[in-house]
Structure 1
Amino acid sequence: MERPIRYWRWTKVRFVNRVKELSLLDEWFGRPGPQLGVVWGRRRVGKSHLLAHWAAGKRAIYHVSRNRALDQELAALSAAAAPVLELADRDLTSRPFRDWDEAFEIFRRTASESPLVLILDEFPELVQSDPSIESTLRAIWEGMGDHPVRLVLCGSAVRTMEALQEERAPLYGRATLRLQVRPFLPSEAALMLPDLSPAERAKAWGVCGGIPFYLDLWDQSGSFRDNLTRLVADEHGLLLNEGQLILATEDFAGGRRERIPEQVLRAIAAGRTRFGEIKGALGTDPTRALAALADLGLVQRVLPVGRSADPRRAYYRVADNFLAFWLAIAEPRRAGIIQGLGKSVAGVMEGQFDNFMGDRWEDAVRTHLIQTMADDPRLAPVIEVGRFWHQYGADPAEIDVAMLSEPGGRLSLAAEVKWARREEGGHVLRALVRKAHASNLLSPDFPEPLYAIAAREEVTGNLPDDVLRVTAADVFG
């Protein structure tokens, strides 16, 4: 008699977007034969939530690895597998898997009924407790035949997960899915906050960035200051110590004992943004730490756009919104918060926020213009987007968003970005046109670039029809 198939379920929690990621997972799941996938991304970015949502309705075993003895790990895996497999000839609770070979032999056999998904979350923990696991899985995978087992290795230790895919790694070449889960873009983060106005969504994103866990903590019925008080300016606030947790647990290159990446982040947050300044603050070469931080999306190296950009003009910024906010605004006031001064401290934080948000808002507008304008026939093909600046002579030119197109890397769109609630567009446009013509990025053989002006809520004034007006309603609408 054929047994009914049991499907793995997950506690119902809010899930938004991740359309591209779900599509990739579905396509991978539909391939014939066994399939190995690697899913990674920084902590709190929503990897487990994504996999849980995707696996709902499938025959799926979800196992969270821990740094524990092999028999304990296999017992936990057996307990997770028992209600899904419903083996007629074995009680996995009382007789757990003896080793990985036996576990996968049972997975392989039961997959003949229908595809079986096995998710090994926090896989780096398993690697730490069992360094031979990668070689073990390679041998098992080579004997899997054509049975439709879908194995997902998931983890937050980014360097460890990326090392799985390197040429000398035992599992190199076996993965048919490699998915890095990244923070939400501004328009995606807005989906987490449907009850807020676009301007308030922008402010919440300015603090939380694109991390779903942080956005989900934001109380949409409370004011901006209320949220700062509850989440940050309170001794028990869930985000008060989150920045330190990131610094302490991210999988940084360079070793945790030296904590050089943390020193780099603190130096940048303190205004030492040039390579030489960072090196001077640390007393050592920060190259490796900067590369690791950039890989995690925590630090960004910024150069002016254009083929003739001088690398010596590069500077570094803390790219992650929350970490930048925590380092610059929250952590310096931690002592007062612990003393019970949270309400007044939250007011100070709110007063400083507009100055902090200018750079973040510029990022959001740049991302929005990439999403909406990069394929516009008036611009395409766009080959580079970023900031432009030079300080030649007495008339420096700074363009907040510069889109360059072929041929020749010519300026095809220039934008001025202001976080002010309202901005009179006429004088901004005149200044922007002047800066565009002073940039040396124009060509007499091609038309004048498009111009865009961004403000938080409204761009006023009589402007030409082809001038783009961008507000939070466009970016976070």
Structure 2
Amino acid sequence: MRFVNRVKELSLLDEWFGRPGPQLGVVWGRRRVGKSHLLAHWAAGKRAVYHVSRNRAPDQELAALSATAAPVLALANRDLASRPFRDWDEAFELFRQTASEAPLVVILDEFPELIKSDLRIESALRAIWEGMGDHPVRLVLCGSAVRTMEALQEERAPLYGRATLRLQVRPFLPNEAALMLPGLAPAERARAWGVCGGIPFYLDLWDQLSSFRDNLARLVANEHGLFLNEGQLILATEDFAGGRRERIPEQVLRAIAVGRTRFGEIKDALGIDPTRALAALADLGLVQRVLPVGRNADPRRAYYRVADNFLAFWLSIAEPRRAAIIQGLGNSVADIMASEFDNFMGDRWEEAVRAHLVQTMADDPRVAPVIEVGRFWHQYGTDPAEIDVAMLSGPAGRLSLASEVKWARHEEGSRILRTLMRKAHASNLVGPHDPEPLYVIAAREEVTGQLPDDVLRVTAADVFA
């Protein structure tokens, strides 16, 4: 997989590496997000032992670690192949001795698998760390089981307070995902992101020389397509809380995907309280609770959406046609998927524009200081207002930016501006003495028409630059 971006993460790792004495780091994030790729890229050129845990018996795990460490440590008086580490104490004693010459990085990837095979490993590492002295060992514990990795850092955990680096690796933002797709036009980058989200592994599978429809045919509408069963794999293997046997989080996701987006609707669909499962899904970044912006927002108006692009696409467009694909009808199914995609993409494009405006406008003097960003809507009275992207500023939370977002290829801007201005003033977020909000109109490829100079036009060429 190609390595792009991760500038902030690499900078954080470098700063942590440069600190004196021993340093313990915890790196976590959902599967496929690129944690291992990031650490391998960062560790290249350093004295680094990179070990991937496999839920093996402790002696087998130590033998595998020994084989990985042997060429790095280059011990003159011991062959680690024939005399592997006897236990973790001996392994880290040799790491400590070797680090006296120069800093040594030790990466234990898939650390939750190690915990499964050796329940005492956390306590053993605590004791080892307390005896590390000032030797510059950099130990990184990495894993995809999000709840397990976060539990390492909780107050009652043996390693609590020892980590000097806590790094959660998140999916790429839209402009970061664009770096994976340099061969595509901006609108096609947006389409690929709409399917793959910000997951580097998925983006790397996208063929930039093929059409959008042909990528769907190869990756999804194909019995052997890598995306066809990927959604089920996520549902089966993510580190969900809230009921493994009943698969409550999966039921919640499926309910939201078919339009049951309010808490009461989800509860009725499942027949049980979904609070715990919703919280777990939100922690993983798979589900988002959406409230209208504003300090007086009524929680009863909240709704839930599948936040992860790939899972939303898989649940709503791919999985319902899985049986037809397996029967050999993938060619016609790919045409249907491509024709339905624009309806699916509207919500995803809105989220991409929102992320773009946060990155580019949050410090702009016309809107700063921004205190809240999101959607706004109300249905009261005879003039309901709905604003796709609303930025609120200042202590009172006045509306400082309002945006209308359309996935259509072209939009006539002057008509949309009139509607957007009416909505802004109907929102009750603009006081009689407040300055006029900054207006933004977004379309896929072009916003046409005569507009005032202070109205911003946003297209995929801006968002996926």
Q: TM-score band, normalised by the shorter chain?
A: over 0.9
RMSD across aligned positions (CA): 0.5
Cα distance in structure 2, aligned partners of 1:116 and 1:275: 50
Distance 2:268 2:118 in 1: 40
Alignment of 1:77-476 (within 5 A): 77-476=65-464
Taking the aligned partners of 1:444 and 1:51, their CA distance within structure 2 comes to: 53
1:68 shift after superposition: 1.0
Cα distance in 2 for partners of 1:265, 1:14 equals 31
The amino acid across from 2:332 in the alignment is S
d(CA) in 2 for partners of 1:151, 1:232? 39
Distance (Å, rounded) in 1 between the aligned partners of 2:456 and 2:331:
40
2:28 corresponds in structure 1 to 40
Amino acid at match of 1:408: A
Give the match for residue 71 of structure 1. Answer: 59
- The amino acid of 1:307's aligned partner reads R
Alignment-mate amino acid for residue 320 of structure 1 = D
Give 1:138's aligned amino acid. Answer: R
Residue identity matched to 1:272: R
Q: Counterpart amino acid of 1:85? A: L
2:17 aligns to what? 29
**What is the alpha-carbon distance in structure 2 between the residues aligned to residue 394 and residue 219 of structure 1?**
49
Letter aligned with residue 375 of structure 2: R
Aligned length: 465
Counterparts of 1:254 and 1:357, CA distance in 2: 30
TM-score of the aligned structures, taking structure 2 as reference length: 1.00
Shift of 1:66: 1.1
Other structure's SS at 1:399 match: strand
Q: Quick one: distance in 2 between partners of 1:345 and 1:142? A: 59
- 1:51 aligns to 2:39 (yes or no): yes
Residue aligned with 2:179, SS: helix
Query: Partner letter of residue 249 of structure 1?
Result: T
Q: CA deviation at 1:307?
A: 0.2
Partners of 1:82 and 1:300 in 2: how far apart?
46
Secondary structure in 1 matching 2:4:
coil
Alignment partner of 1:178: what SS? strand
Separation (CA, whole Å) in 2 of partners of 1:256 and 1:79: 36
Separation in 1, partners of 2:118, 2:383: 62
Alpha-carbon distance, 1:445 to partner: 2.3
Displacement after TM superposition at 1:446 (Å): 2.1
Indicate the residue corresponding to 1:18 in structure 2. 6
Return the alpha-carbon distance in structure 2 between the equivalents of residues 242 and 275 of structure 1: 27
Q: Give 3-state SS (helix, strand or coil) of 1:58's partner.
A: coil
Equivalent-residue separation in structure 2 for 1:87 and 1:407 (angstroms): 62
CA offset digits 1:223-246 (Å, max 9, x no partner): 000100000000000010000000
Give the distance between the partners of 1:333 and 1:219, measured in 2 at CA. Answer: 22
Identity %: 88
Within 1, Cα distance between the matches of 2:342 and 2:27? 36
Where in structure 2 are there 5+ consecutive unaligned residues? none
Deviation of residue 443 (structure 1)? 1.6
Following superposition, the deviation at residue 255 of structure 1 comes to 3.2
Q: 1:17 aligns to what SS in structure 2?
A: coil
Secondary structure at the residue paired with 1:192? coil
